Structure 1
Amino acid sequence: MSWVTLNDMRTWLVAGALAFALIALFAPRIDLTRDAYDVLAVIDITTSMNTRDEASGAETVSRLRAAKTALREMLAKLPCGSHLGLGFFTERRTFLLFDPIEVCENFAAIDEAIAQLDWRMAWEGDSYVSRGLYSAIEVAKSLDADLIFITDGHELPPLPFSGLPPFDGKPGDVGGLIVGIGSRTPTPLLKYDEEGREIGTYAAQEVPQENRSGAPPPDASTRPGYHPKWAPFGNAVVDNSEHMAVVREAYLKQLASVTGLSYAYFGQREDLLEPLVAAAHARPLKVASDIRALPGSLALILLVFLYGLGAVAAGRALIRSSLNLPPPKGAK
């Protein structure tokens, strides 16, 4: 083989394409490390989550529907090797539907389970959010998983004047995220009949406006009708807007502080993965990766360039022939 031939660009392109093609054929798989996540997702399905104040394109949908859509989108973005479990909260506890399972192998089953969550699964009308969150943390800890808890934070009945019930766990022992969902503008709570049909909204007198269990508030003695034994809360009609649904962010941030979880407001975010990744404990996962696509692609690029040079040379020769021009110097 002559030096002229070796110096020919086309020869080098063919040689390079052949070399990369051989590498693509025999390249071994290599182990790469990437982050995976083990997560328990819990969605609040109590009455206030039926409030339609979440935008979905041109449509206004319920908080529950928006939460399910966001969770399904997060599922699609979780890296393979991650595990996702599902539960829902109602009354005062979290009910586990299934343990965390691998997201890619079981994508269709997990996605369908999320889609089928419904407020009619609730067995009580009460909504003790703090106790439901504590219950979810216990379940997540038993599964060695992080937690994403989606709620509007609406306690019904309201918390007693003594405040939050004590958290018996260790703050930060379970990582994860409380997601506040719902508008910051109050909206009347929707009302349903025994058949689950919407029949209007609740009036103030139909919803407990304060919790009268436990000790009365410090200002109880100044209330109309107060009696230390017979009427320790007084007899005045109270309106604390508990019949209005609004995301209780201050309360959810307090819960996050007590439990060591992070807090994120859903709003128009529609992406739960980013705040979850920032709050969760990543698990390093070794994955055997096939790198043959890289040298194969380089071989293809060289071949495309080679035939492109041939096409350019043929085009120039055709133009010179049509114009009766002499060949370029050095051409054979």
Structure 2
Amino acid sequence: MRIIFMGTPEFAVASLEALLDSGAEIVGVVTAPDKPAGRGQKITQSAVKRFAEANGLKILQPEKLRDPQFLAELKALNADLQVVVAFRMLPEVVWNMPPKGTINLHASLLPQYRGAAPINWAIINGEKESGVTTFFIKQEIDTGAILFVEKITIADDVTAGEYHDRLMNKGAGLLVKTVKAIESGRYTEQPQEQLAEGQELKHAPKIFKDDCRIDWQQPVQKVYNLIRGLSPYPAAFTALNDKTFKIYGANKEESNPNIQPGEFDTDNRTYLKFACTDGYIHVTDVQLEGKKRMGIEEFLRGVKL
């Protein structure tokens, strides 16, 4: 089959590489336009573009997915199938173009955690299991018929960054399996409406700054899950010395705190812990506004609390 691949971040690179390694014919790669990033606003290419260039693949970088010139270029590639991994929402004129349809790899067990941040929200909500799903794209986001799933446990101490890497690699394998099944015609479609019956659906909307603010009035497990689910990006935060204090790593202590929620205790050498309603969060990997990210002992050597 002639395949067009659409994706932008590192998560998508593993899938594109796996497809190439499997012998798939990638006739084009669609990714985000180059854009300025960082303090110097240096023009930066997406991870997918860098990989595609290194492998001599044709690259399209449309500003708008309905642009007539882009649509003409896409059609001229004469693809049988389009594959989407961590890209943006497609208009129907794009996803309905190839004869075999357009498939998507999503980092959750659909229909649970539809949306932009499924990895983060699964950990924030304390799930013990999630996974990856392949499905056919249709009009409403993340609602198309399911093709294949793979479940993956979520360890009690895993961060979103660590779990991201596990899903990225598992998802790449599942995507290759899905493409081969479509090529051979040996697959079944399972409507999400059937799976959703009797389930309370949880959603995975985009993460905003207010979602990252720690509420110390919550139980220690809930705060611990929030920190794990937002590490390393965008990171949970609180206020310390009237500055933003990001917490990337922490341990939990379930006990009866002798200080009020939100107050902290420290020996100014080896530990800093914040009280929740039923225990403490011992922070281990932190960043105070205006400073670099560092371990707690290094941090305490440079600041007195």
**Please, what TM-score do these two structures have when normalized by structure 2?**
0.25
Choose between structure 1 and 2: higher strand proportion: 2
The structure whose RCO (Cα within 8 Å, separation 6+) is larger is: 1
Larger radius of gyration: 1
